Amino acid sequence: MGRAKELLKNKNAVTLIALAAAYAVVAWMLYSGHITRQFTNMIIPMSMYIVLAVSLNLVVGFLGELNLGHAGFMSVGLFTGCLLSISLADKLPLIARLPLCMLVGGICAGLFGFAVGMPALRLKGDYLAIVTLACGEIVKNIITNLNVTGGARGLNTQPIYSGAKALLPYAVVLVFLTVIVMMHIKKSKQGRAIMAIRDNRIAAESIGLNVTYYKLTVFIIAAFFAGAAGALYGHYFANVKAVTFDYNMSIEILVIVVLGGMGSVRGSVIAAVVLQALPEIFRDFGDYRMLIYAVVLILAMLLTNSPRLAPLRQKLSSVRLGKAKETGGENHGTA
């Protein structure tokens, strides 16, 4: 009993248990057939958005650098991973092929992350944001124009297509791996160094932290997970086009990170699930659904961030008792 209480106090453990429970329910529903088609179609994309949001949070929330090209990282991993998977489709079964392709896709995306991270060392704030956006668009343009990736018609991934039932175990492993790695980084010495760089780069540098090393590492790790998620995602479709993964998608991921709370792993997971589910929930509203999504987004930002509404928020959080402290502490703004 005492240990259970101790465990409940550990926020990370609670998150992991809740996530495991959620996936257990989803898996039971999926494999026993107690599930609608609409819900089945959400499982893999939702898992991918969790990985993308949590990994982007490492760059935006922990390191404090605005990245508007996360979909580009994913795209690199998706196309390299899927090309490898197509060439190995007859030789290896899914169980060996998919992890290998996710690894290769992740590494290729990581290399690209390194390339994008290099200018990041010289640029600050919005200038870096525009360079990441530009890199994402360059990737999109290159992949669309190459013959090997199917050009504008998109890559035919029919030979490697696998349904949600086959992909769910890999998705669960990837989600847990990403979440655990991020939680570990946050608590580790390296994580504190990264957050120190975010809070005050000059002070961090003056106590001997290697800013170059940490910034590049963060970009590489974030890109790696995005790439691995991309390689997995590609197997879920019969055809993938690079134009789908443009700056709009990067922005979509950024919205998840910001709404979930900067630097909060749990927040990113929850926001990814909620924001991906919203358009489905509002499906009955037809044409109004994206309109409602936009209004909800604006109102959520105004309610959670407006300095004018601070007294109202305080009143609400005092009703929710201790809750105020956790969310308040993690809402760290960056320039």
Sole binder of other proteins in the list 41, 305, 314, 318 (CB under 8 A): 305
293 binds other proteins, rule: CB under 8 A: yes
Q: Considering only CA atoms, which of 330, 299, 294 is closest in space to residue 312?
A: 299
CA distance 235 to 155: 11
**Element spanning 113, H or E:** helix 94-120
User: 3-state class of 208 per DSSP?
Assistant: coil
Q: Considering only CA atoms, which of 166, 123, 141 is closest in space to residue 27?
A: 166
284 binds other proteins, rule: CB under 8 A: no
SS (H, E, C) 272-298: HHHHHHHHHHHHHHHHHHHHHHHHHHH
CA distance 224 to 55: 9
CB closer to other proteins out of 103 and 123: 123
141 binds other proteins, rule: CB under 8 A: yes
216 binds other proteins, rule: CB under 8 A: no
199 binds other proteins, rule: CB under 8 A: no
Q: Which stretch binds other proteins (CB under 8 A): 8-16, 102-110, 294-302, 322-330?
A: 294-302
* Min dist. Cβ of residue 331 to other proteins (A): 8
Chain-centroid distance of CA 317 in Å reads: 28
Sole binder of other proteins in the list 290, 312, 314, 323 (CB under 8 A): 290
CB closer to other proteins out of 52 and 172: 52
Size of the site for other proteins (CB under 8 A): 52
CB closer to other proteins out of 36 and 147: 147
99 binds other proteins, rule: CB under 8 A: no
259 binds other proteins, rule: CB under 8 A: yes
Q: Considering only CA atoms, which of 19, 56, 43, 44 is closest in space to residue 256?
A: 56
Helices 189-199 and 164-187, interaxial angle, to 10°?
70
Residue numbers at the binding site for other proteins (CB under 8 A): 60, 66, 119, 122-124, 126-127, 129-131, 133-135, 137-138, 141-142, 144-145, 202-203, 247-248, 251, 254-255, 258-259, 262, 287-288, 290-291, 293-295, 297-298, 301-302, 304-309, 331-335
